[in-house]
A = this chain, B = another copy of it.
Amino acid sequence: MEHNASGADLVLPAPAGHCGHAHGRPAGIPASVCAACRVRSVSVCSALEPDELRDLAAIADDVQFAARAEIVSEGETAQTIYNITEGTVRTYRLLPDGRRQIFGFLLAGDFLGLSLPETYGFSADAITPVRACRFTRGRFETFLEAKPRLLRRLHEAAGHELTLAQDHMVLLGRRTAEEKVAGFLAGLRDRLQRIGGGTVMIPLPMTREDIADHLGLTIETVSRIFTKLVRQRALIIVPGGVRLLAPDALDALAAG
């Protein structure tokens, strides 16, 4: 049905970047990248001191992916760790017959591969153009050995990730379709707010099918629930997302 999975990968000089300069290339990163990082304060890197940050910048590459580019693939040996700085990424697993479960959508500040596994247990691809901070596993681990505080922070982040996974298990296993959609939007609203977004306009760069595969529903059901929420005056649908009319109406509907 979908998933071209074409060989698209890195896009070197951003062709149609919608913001910022088109400068970032994997080679010769100046020491300032981390210090200037927009998402540092919300990411694992917030555990680092200025001088440690300089050391980290030395082993980091600023990379970009085009929309639909595959970032990691399930089963491949995990040689890379990413910290997303711009854009949206989906992580998922596919069953042999094509059924798909999307684990989550990564936003700016989120880490990909923070549990340092041998091989990735999921695939990930870019929904929008994505910019990320890339570390090779080997160099990152060497860096870690000298910075136990960072490992500690990483462990905390993994624990947070686990809590999110548990939240999602509750959602998948014990919530109705309406609660699922409302809960999804409420969660997204909260995450966007923490990284500096507003609480009213919620961009939805993913398709309805992505949302369905995240919530354990079908496209049609997701669509129906959206229009139901519109009829209840909880939100309106706008190009590229939704606008919340009664931001806390969602929490009531999410029930829990």
Residue A101 at the B interface, CB < 8 A?
yes
Q: Does A122 contact B (CB under 8 A)?
A: yes
Which chain B residue shows the least CB distance to A215?
B173
Partner of A159, one of B99, B115, B163, B175: B115
Nearest residue, chain B, Cβ from A120: B163
Asked if A9 CB lies within 8 Å of chain B CBs, one says: no
Q: Would you call A69 an interface residue if the criterion is a C-beta within 8 Å of the partner chain's C-beta atoms? A: no
Chain B residues whose CB sits within 8 angstroms of the CB of A155 once the complex forms = 115-116, 151, 154-155, 158
**A27-35, A50-58, A90-98, A195-203: which lies at the interface:** A90-98
Q: Which of B99, B145, B148, B158 contacts A162 (CB 8 A)?
A: B158
A42 on the interface (CB 8 Å rule)? no
Q: How far is the CA of A185 from the CA of B171 in the complex (A)?
A: 23
- A169: which B residues are within 8 A, CB to CB? 101, 103, 165, 168-169, 172
Residue in B97, B156, B163, B168 whose CB lies within 8 Å of A121: B163
Q: How far is the CA of A169 from the CA of B154 in the complex (A)?
A: 23
Q: Is there contact, CB below 8 Å, between B115 and A170?
A: no
Contact, CB under 8 Å: A93 / B170:
yes
13 contacts between A and B (CB under 8 A): A93-B166, A93-B170, A95-B174, A95-B255, A96-B255, A115-B155, A115-B159, A115-B162, A116-B156, A116-B159, A121-B163, A145-B148, A172-B173
Give residues in A with beta carbon < 8 Å to B.
93, 95-97, 99-101, 103, 115-117, 121-122, 145, 148, 151-152, 154-156, 158-159, 161-163, 165-166, 168-170, 172-175, 213, 215-216, 255-256
